Amino acid sequence: MSLLKLLIFHSILMLSAFIGTADGYYEYAIYECVYSTSDYSDMVNLLSYSFNKVVHTQFNSTVGKFVGFTEVGVKYAENFNEDKAYLQRMKAEVDKVCIPNAHNYDSLVRDKTVKPTVTLSSVKQAEGRHPAVLMCSAYEFYPKKIKVSWLRDGKLMTSEVTSTMEMADGDWYYQIHSELEYTPKSGEKISCVVEHASSSQPIVKDWNPSISESDRNKITIGSSGLVLGIIIAAAGLIYYKKKSSGRILVPN
């Protein structure tokens, strides 16, 4: 079944009366375009008038006229439906407004995908009877729907797994985190598998238990220090040679 899609192009909020209460009385209109197919063949144009969150009158392009849902709404609908030219313009909005805007939105936003950045790290090392914990994180992906699973020696793990919901970063992107609690065994292979619309193949991250996270950090820091030391030594040697080339040796 196709996912129902909705575009709200604009809404008009009008304060019709206010009697001093916290809520007051509000009359407002919402213009919507609703569709579920990629060719927009089922596009529906809706214009709804509401009073305090209750819809009383609505135009539906598939119906071709306004319909009232309350006593006042029926009177509104009768008045609107007397203007045949207005009804024709409202029906024409499907082709003039809804479909062009839906096409632009789909091509610029809805159909775009961004591949997640996946990391696999050790949260807690195994100690005695306490099992180890791994965390698999996926960052900066779009759209929201994603699946994170764990494999142990090629078999899907369904227990001892906890995951967060997809969390919005506030910039159109999402992140998700999944933890696996397990007791390490020699020679085993544990993998985190991420499936997302941005990748035709699952993204697989294998865990290497032979190097702990702290050891990896130490290796990275040590390597960086070694490279920096070599650069400093080379610079010093070049400077020394330049100074030596300008000297004149005088025999004693």
pLDDT per residue as tens digits for the range 88-102? 999 999 999 999 999
Pick the residue with more confidence: 13 or 71? 71
Q: Are residues 130 and 68 in the same domain?
A: no
Identify the pLDDT of residue 159.
Answer: 84
Q: Are residues 106 and 192 in the same domain?
A: no
Instruction: Flag whether 236 is in a domain.
Output: no
- Rounded to a whole number, what is the largest CA-CA distance in the chain? 120
3-state secondary structure the chain: CCCCEEEEEEEEEEEEECCCCCCCEEEEEEEEEEECCCCCCCCEEEEEEEECCEEEEEEECCCCEEEECCHHHHHHHHHHHCCHHHHHHHHHHHHHHHHHHHHHHHHHHHCCCECCEEEEEEEECCECCECEEEEEEEEEEECCCEEEEEEECCEEECCCEEECCCEECCCCCEEEEEEEEECCCCCCCEEEEEEECCCCCCEEEEECCCCCHHHHHHHHHHHHHHHHHHHHHHHHHHHHHHHHHCCCCCCC
Identify the pLDDT of residue 195.
Answer: 96
pLDDT by residue (tens digit) across 103-123?
Answer: 888 887 777 889 999 999 998
Instruction: Flag whether 27 is in a domain.
Output: yes
Query: What mean pLDDT value characterizes the chain?
Result: 82
Per mean pLDDT, which of 6-10, 39-43, 66-70, 204-208 is the most reliable?
66-70
Q: Are residues 98 and 69 in the same domain?
A: yes
Identify the pLDDT of residue 7.
Answer: 64
Identify the pLDDT of residue 91.
Answer: 95
Query: Using CB atoms within 10 A of its CB, is residue 178 exposed (0-12), middle (13-18) or buried (19+)?
Result: buried
Token output for 66: 């306004």
Q: Which of these three, 53, 85, 110, is where a domain ends?
A: 110
CATH code assigned at 199: 2.60.40.10
What's the total number of domains in the chain?
2
Pick the residue with more confidence: 177 or 229? 177
Taking 50 as the threshold, does the pLDDT of residue 40 lie above it?
A: yes
CATH code assigned at 46: 3.10.320.10
Q: Are residues 99 and 171 in the same domain?
A: no
Q: Are residues 122 and 207 in the same domain?
A: yes
Q: Are residues 121 and 103 in the same domain?
A: no
Strands 155-157 and 203-207, bridge-based pairing = unpaired
Instruction: Flag whether 222 is in a domain.
Output: no
pLDDT by residue (tens digit) across 215-250?
Answer: 555 545 665 666 676 777 666 666 666 666 655 444
Q: Are residues 197 and 125 in the same domain?
A: yes
- Could you give the percent of the chain with pLDDT greater than 70? 74
Taking 90 as the threshold, does the pLDDT of residue 124 lie above it?
A: no
Taking 90 as the threshold, does the pLDDT of residue 125 lie above it?
A: no
Instruction: Flag whether 121 is in a domain.
Output: yes
- Kindly indicate the confidence band of residue 67, based on its pLDDT and cuts at 50, 70 and 90: very high
Structural domain for 48, as ranges: 5-110
Q: Which of these three, 194, 213, 232, is where a domain ends?
A: 213
Taking 70 as the threshold, does the pLDDT of residue 194 lie above it?
A: yes
Q: Are residues 106 and 121 in the same domain?
A: no
158-162, 166-170, 208-212: least confidently modelled range: 208-212
Taking 70 as the threshold, does the pLDDT of residue 9 lie above it?
A: no
Question: Which residues are CB-contacts of 247 (< 8 A; sequence separation ≥ 6)?
Answer: none
Q: Are residues 13 and 99 in the same domain?
A: yes
Handedness of CA 165, 168, 169, 174 (dihedral sign): positive
